[in-house]
Structure 1
Amino acid sequence: MDVTTVVLAAQEATTHVSAHLPVLADASGHAAALPVEIPDPGDPQAPPGVGGKIETLLSWLKWGGLALCIAGIIIAGALMAVANRRGEGGENVARLGWAMGGVAVISAVLSLVTFIAS
């Protein structure tokens, strides 16, 4: 196979592909294949009869997550008090920070998801 045969085969393949895809030239002169139209599914909706149940489930999960974070803060505080008696309280500060970070994330989840989705 020589170079001319390869070039002709590549040109034929490009012609065949470009016949089936719309082509748009960008500012640098290169052509890029783009879909004709990107479908917009619209606003998200819950299936009929499910919306209230999902909201209840999510509120229960949020309540449970916050309860676990509060328990974590209490446990971290107790461990800090015990470790302070022994003179080694530094490592429990990280536990307290992670528990408080969890509270912040769980409390701000609606705002975070709305920001990411928009």
Structure 2
Amino acid sequence: MQLSETGRQRGAHLMLISAVLDMAQAVPVPNPRPLAPPGLDKPINTILAWAKWGVIVAGVAGLFICGAQMAIGRKNRSSFAADGASGIPWVLGGLSLAATASGIVGMFLR
């Protein structure tokens, strides 16, 4: 049984595509590390340090506010105390996200 001309062309095309894909997989893809533009290292590090400091201040303030709500709501205001207690996981979640932000972003830039 003979293949038609169209079948032979399809087979040749598939072999060519397979060969090209094999060669493409053999070529290493360059993956340079992130590099700051010249002159922006220090200003960006200063901005990131200020942001980190701001997150720490906001986290401490958030925990103080949650503690105050719980202390004030202890007597006859149980929903106020519950709001304070339910805010603690949100504050800790925000602090955890800020602490792991560089690792999370670094994971996507590999």
Q: What TM-score do you get using the length of structure 1 for normalisation?
A: 0.64
Distance 1:73 1:103 in 2: 11
Equivalent residue in structure 1 for 2:31, among 29, 35, 40: 40
Q: 2:96 aligned with 1:98, yes or no?
A: no
Amino acid at match of 2:14: T
Backbone CA RMSD of aligned residues? 3.2
CA pair 39-115 structure 1, distance change in 2 beyond 3 A? closer
Distance 1:22 1:100 in 2: 48
Unpaired segments ≥5 residues, structure 2:
none
Q: Deviations over 1:25-68 (max 9, x none)?
A: xxxxxxxx625221131x43211110000000000000111111
Which structure shows the higher strand fraction?
1
**Greater relative CO, 1 or 2 (CA 8 Å, sep 6+):** 2
Aligned counterpart, 2:14: 14
Distance 1:8 1:83 in 2: 82
What SS is found at the alignment partner of 2:74?
A: helix
Contact 1:72/1:99, CA 8 A, preserved across alignment: yes
Distance 2:73 2:26 in 1: 63
Percent identity (aligned):
28
Distance 1:65 1:47 in 2: 26
Q: What TM-score do you get using the length of structure 2 for normalisation?
A: 0.68
